[in-house]
Chain A
Amino acid sequence: MTAKIAYDEVEVGTELPVRSFPVTRATLVQYAGASGDFNPIHWNEKFAKGVGLPDVIAHGMFTMAEAIRVVTDWTGDPGAVVEYGVRFTKPVVVPNDDQGAVIEVGGKVAAKLDDNTVRVDLVVTSGGQKVLGMSRAVVRLA
């Protein structure tokens, strides 16, 4: 594994570049196919509203996949991720329009750990609301 960020150059509080990830209905259909998760709450408005949701929502695992990109783009090597966990707190609602929704992800180094690893805490929001809680990754640096 060869991360491009050096452990010695990182401090607690170091911020990772903030990213925005757009998500439309087409994104969700594509993710459903790639992941094999065809739950209709992710593509069928009538079904989603029928189970009490405001509209179609993104797969929680799609949001989780986007959020870690802030870390993997920072280190360069996806294999540097040692641990990654999230709590799904609020759904990302995806309206059927040209805009869809946007997932905003920021992160900062929360702790320096053993073996050149650091813990990165992620803040993941959509429409101004936190959509993932306890979103943390442990990543091995160079």
Chain B
Amino acid sequence: MALDQSFVGRSYPPTEPYEVGREKIREFAEAVGDANPAYTDPEAAKALGHPDVVAPPTFVFAITFKAAGAVVQDPQLGLDYSRVVHGDQKFAYTRPVRAGDRLTVTSTIEAIKSMAGNDILDVRGEVHDEAGEHVVTAWTKLVARAADSGEGQD
């Protein structure tokens, strides 16, 4: 069933702040096998001009995707989450996420499309720091596949 187009443009209230910890960044960097010292050594990060260790570019997805959960699980929207796969992902950074950040996410439904029985939902997550400054925007395309289709990725 096609999703309600009237949800396009709808924004959801900002999330509670997520506090970025050095050890969480280290854990993520280790999980992706990335030994760049800017992720774990504050002095190495400072040498690059950052006030503290920075997070790998895709780290913030865990925060924005959780925020997008409020959208995809909105009962009024009626998306069948059991059939959802990740189609596209994009980030645009004002600056890298870093340890000590307290980040809030404001999610907006940018587009709703229906193609070959698939529902396609574009969600934009604007990430701001405690001072209200923009850090990064994440665009996530979710595809709720038609019921007779089996393949998926995420």
Contacts and interface: CB of A to CB of B under 8 A. Distances in A.
Interface residues of A, number: 43
Nearest to A138: B92
B34 interface: yes
A140 to B, nearest CB: 10
B150 A34 contact: no
Contact of B32 (A39, A65, A88, A90): A65
B48 A1 contact: yes
Interface in B28-57: 28, 30-34, 36, 38-39, 47-50, 54-57
B91 A88 contact: no
A101 to B, nearest CB: 14
Interface stretch (B58-66, B70-78, B114-122): B58-66
B90 A88 contact: no
Contact of B57 (A37, A57, A84): A84
Given A30-B31, A53-B150, A88-B87, A77 B38 contact: yes
B90 A83 contact: yes
The 7 tightest CB contacts between A and B, nearest first, are A52-B150, A85-B90, A34-B31, A79-B96, A60-B154, A65-B32, A65-B58
Interface of A: 1-2, 21, 27, 30-31, 33-37, 39, 41, 51-53, 57, 59-62, 64-66, 68-69, 72-73, 76-79, 81-88, 90-91, 134
